[in-house]
Structure 1
């Protein structure tokens, strides 16, 4: 593992607003250096109004190889990339960018792929599952596309913002051949339930689904990382459901980020 830095060290910015809360700089830097890359991840606090200028500037910085993107910029940066992956094009969002062969930014979205990898490690292969996804924001959109890629037999979307839900449904119907439907807080008939909303971060948050209708065969996942075991997962475990935490997701998303950042154009 490389243990020193120099003027030759390559820079990867992680950009967000705010940025003080992110855990990625240390973890991703460590993984990159363990794999022999002389690189360091540096946090950059950039407001939305300054994002386009930041992107233009970093593209001109010859020692900047890549960017990691966090809230609220994942959708905005997609339009600032020279090219994006097929899933990022459908989602309309990007969370990692690296140089393409011409020096422009190539963007991709690792959140969903990381989530599916974490599900599999937790003992839940999405293939053949009937999934209910709560939340159609950035994380939910990425997870939805990854579930389609992973072979769920059906996917129901439950989202309070009807326009956002319907927009994601249209994107998914154009993206793959999996039946997409409008879901509800009732998980009956589903054997994979995922909360992709912030509900559960605060003690007084309502539960995102009707947990009393969970069967013991249902696998329940959450994206919330604090608390480590949110109320939804506590309730699911009380009903003998297998579960996966947001921290388990984050670890696998980090793995996918590193793989993307080390790939050659």
Structure 2
């Protein structure tokens, strides 16, 4: 990757708290370079209390062309997005924005597409299957929508925030009646189990799912990129399950992110 760096280089920050775990700056910069775009994706460690000021600063900088939001800023980013897609509004979060010529932001949530494209690339098709999804925060709500949009027979949702879980179920029920309900951390009886929480990112985290109950016919996915194989995925592998680590999700949506943040989507 031969990156050009001069006064005409456009910047695309990726903001998170923490940020050290993200693998995307190099990958996305590589895609930009391959497309002949003089630009860099740079990590930005931004605490939630500083996020509004950060977005305001990015808005005022003419050489910032877009912004990627990761944990925990995806839901907050929707409030700063002047032109969100219907998918993003449904998910209640935005993970990538493009700054238009008039200084306003247009954005999308590519998490659901990326997650399920990654799962499909691993050879698992969700159509007609029973699914359990743990976590419906910024990424999880988009993933839940995509699971049902791709024809899952039923989706159970578990979230430690019961109000958030129930609000997501209510929205999905309106679009996919009879195919969604509340679940538990117990994976018994499901074909597909997905983790869309950050639990497992830090050493000593509890398991987000009762992973010891996994069975070999199940497919288990995670959204965490570091560590690549989370503790719950390690258990899934030991049980003979097929898996998708979080890097599979990100690789599957990398081109989508570049399309949106450069205004080509």
Residue in 2 aligned with 1:69? 69
- Kept in 1: contact 2:94–2:138 (CA 8 A): no
**In the TM superposition, what is the alpha-carbon distance from 1:119 to its structure 2 partner?**
0.2
Query: 2:83 maps to which residue?
Result: 83
Q: 1:49 to 1:33 in 2, by over 3 A?
A: same
Note if contact 1:158-1:183 (Cα within 8 Å) is conserved in structure 2.
Answer: yes
Separation in 2 of the partners of 1:4 and 1:71?
A: 29
Q: TM-score, normalised by structure 1?
A: 0.88
For 1:120 and 1:95, locate their aligned partners in 2 and report how far apart those are by CA, in whole Å. Answer: 21
Q: Deviations over 1:23-79 (max 9, x none)?
A: 322221111111211111233333434333333332233222111112222111211
The TM-score normalised by the length of structure 2 is: 0.88
- Say whether 1:153 aligns with 2:153: yes
| Distance in 1 separating the partners of 2:50 and 2:199 | 30
Question: Relative to structure 1, is the Cα distance of residues 244 and 22 closer, same or farther in structure 2, using a 3 angstrom cutoff?
Answer: closer
Instruction: Give unmatched runs, 5+ long, in structure 2.
Output: none
Please state how far the C-alpha of 1:101 moved relative to its aligned partner. Answer: 6.4
Deviates more, 1:64-73 or 1:175-184: 175-184
CA 1:178–1:64: 2 relative to 1, 3 Å: farther
Aligned to 2:192: 192
Native 8 Å contact 2:21 2:226 kept in 1? no
Q: From the superposition, tell whether residues 187 and 196 of structure 1 become closer, same or farther in structure 2 (CA, over 3 Å).
A: same
Equivalent residue number for residue 33 of structure 1: 33
Deviation at 1:120, TM superposition (A): 0.6
Partner of 2:173: 173
Distance in 2, matches of 1:125 and 1:77, equals 31
Q: CA deviation at 1:110?
A: 1.4
Q: CA RMSD in A?
A: 2.4
Offset of residue 193 of structure 1: 0.8
Q: Is residue 224–residue 245 contact of structure 1 (8 Å, CA) maintained in 2?
A: yes
* Alpha-carbon distance between aligned partners in 2 of 1:103 and 1:204, rounded to the nearest angstrom: 43
Deviations 1:85-125 (A, max 9, x none): 11211121111000346441011111221111110111112
Q: Quote how far apart the aligned CAs of 1:189 are.
A: 2.2
Where do 5+ consecutive residues of structure 1 fail to align? none
